[in-house]
Chain A
Amino acid sequence: MIQYAAILLIFIGLYGLLTNRNIIKIIISLNIIEIGLNIFIISIGFVFDGIAPIMTSVNNSSALIYVDPVPQALVLTAIVIGVGTTALGLALAKNIHSKYKTLEIDEVEES
């Protein structure tokens, strides 16, 4: 079920991307798409009755049932890449504002 909720989140973000005209709202929609994608990636690794993939003095053997650690490592990378892109988008928004004095893409005249 959680997988389908995450896919719904991705498409809600896509809807926001298609209909919004304010630059900050477009960046937020992009972030919602990325959050939905990250939740989807983690959700495919879940195993019922699995524990977190860290060996401690309590869970001290590698023969126990663990959750899948590979999607968690992939999400680590994907989150950082999303942060980099969002920061660049916001810097561009700051440049657009200082050049055209507005943040609506309809009012900016760039042919």
Chain B
Amino acid sequence: MKKILAFILTMGLGALVIISLSNNEFFPEFGMADLTERVSIEYITKGSALDVIFNQTNNPESGPANIVTSIVIDYRSFDTLGEVTVLFISSLGIALLLGGAAIPKRLDLNFKPNFMLRVGSRALFSIIIMTGVYVISHGHLTPGGGFPGGTMIASAFLLLYLADDQFRAKIKGFKIMESIAGSLYVIIGLIGLILADQFLENFLPNGTVGVLISSGILPVVYILIGLKVGSEISGIIDHFLTEEEVL
């Protein structure tokens, strides 16, 4: 009875929302979005009257060839700082909630991995780390960047955890790396305040669009984000796979 009531309620609300949106003349149809009416056109043309050409334009307003990267860590860099903080406090919270065990040891799962798995995973580990580093460092030229790259690094550690039931990574090292990477991001912002005029302003020259060494401090920021995300998610994985404390 309760399920039927909930079904009618949610489907009714959904139908109401859909009808309201389709009657709204300001809400564009699927695919009919006009970018010249939105702020996005300024992000694409990088604020200049001339066209931006790959491998030719020198010192544009924002360096990366990947326009989404230029929005995430240049134009709206403050939002990314907030997002990094959300991951930080989630990881801190999990350490608070699950970290009470006096002597941490691995959770006892009911499978025993065999020899091939253990050896093969170590070989695969280095390849995954290399892919992650590539994705992080080319974030301003190709799709990817700090967040997917950091998750790839964390998944390499997850592989080691799953393949070997006695493996524990060095949690202390992860905590130090996470703390230093985060502080460096805020400190880069404050240096931007001192050297240039505003917080998180890009104070190194932007170079040519499309070259690996370009866009000022942005590749550095992405590398810091990648390291931070990787170490945080690895820390979370470790906390989940430890023996629970007796409450």
In this complex, the member of B28, B32, B86 whose beta carbon has the largest number of chain A beta carbons within 10 angstroms is: B86
- Flag whether B90 is at the interface (Cβ < 8 A): yes
B40 and A69 form a contact (CB under 8 A): yes
Q: What distance in Å separates the Cβ of B113 from its nearest Cβ neighbour in chain A? A: 23
**Which 10 residue pairs of A and B lie closest in terms of their CB atoms, listed nearest first?**
A84-B90, A60-B54, A11-B14, A62-B52, A53-B67, A73-B71, A55-B65, A48-B31, A15-B10, A18-B6
A23 to chain B, nearest CB (A): 14
Contact surface of A with B, Cβ cutoff 8 Å? 1-4, 7-8, 10-12, 14-15, 18-19, 43-48, 52-57, 59-63, 66, 68-70, 72-73, 76-77, 80-81, 83-85, 87-88, 90-92, 94-95, 98-99
Q: Are A69 and B68 in contact (CB under 8 A)?
A: yes
Which residues of B11-45 are within 8 A (CB) of A? 11, 13-14, 17-18, 21-22, 28, 30-33, 35, 38-40, 43-45
Those of B131-157 within 8 Å (CB) of chain A: 142-143, 147
Tell me how far the C-beta of A85 lies from the nearest C-beta in chain B, rounded to whole angstroms. 7
Could you say which of B39, B72, B87, B97 contacts A91, with CB atoms under 8 Å apart? B97
- B176 CB–A CB distance under 8 Å: no
Comparing B75-83, B185-193, B213-221, the segment that makes contact with chain A is: B75-83
Contact flag A54-B30 (CB < 8 Å), given A47-B35, A73-B72, A87-B94: no
Interface residues of B (CB under 8 A from A): 2-3, 6-7, 9-11, 13-14, 17-18, 21-22, 28, 30-33, 35, 38-40, 43-46, 51-55, 65-68, 71-72, 76, 79-80, 82-83, 86-87, 89-91, 93-94, 97-98, 142-143, 147, 209-210, 236, 239-240, 244-247
A80 in complex: contacting residue of B32, B45, B76, B86, CB < 8 Å: B86
12 contacts between A and B (CB under 8 A): A14-B10, A46-B30, A55-B52, A55-B65, A61-B51, A62-B46, A70-B43, A70-B71, A72-B68, A76-B68, A80-B147, A98-B244
* Cross-chain contact A76 with B40 (CB below 8 angstroms): no
Partner of A61, one of B21, B39, B43, B54: B54
From A44, A45, A69, A98, give the contact of B43 (CB < 8 A).
Answer: A69
- Which of the residues A70, A84, A94 comes within 8 Å of B40, measured between beta carbons? A70
Bound Cα distance A15, B142 (Å):
39
* A102→B24 CA distance, assembly (Å): 47
Q: How far is the CB of B170 from chain A (nearest CB, A)?
A: 21
Residue of A nearest to B82 (CB): A77
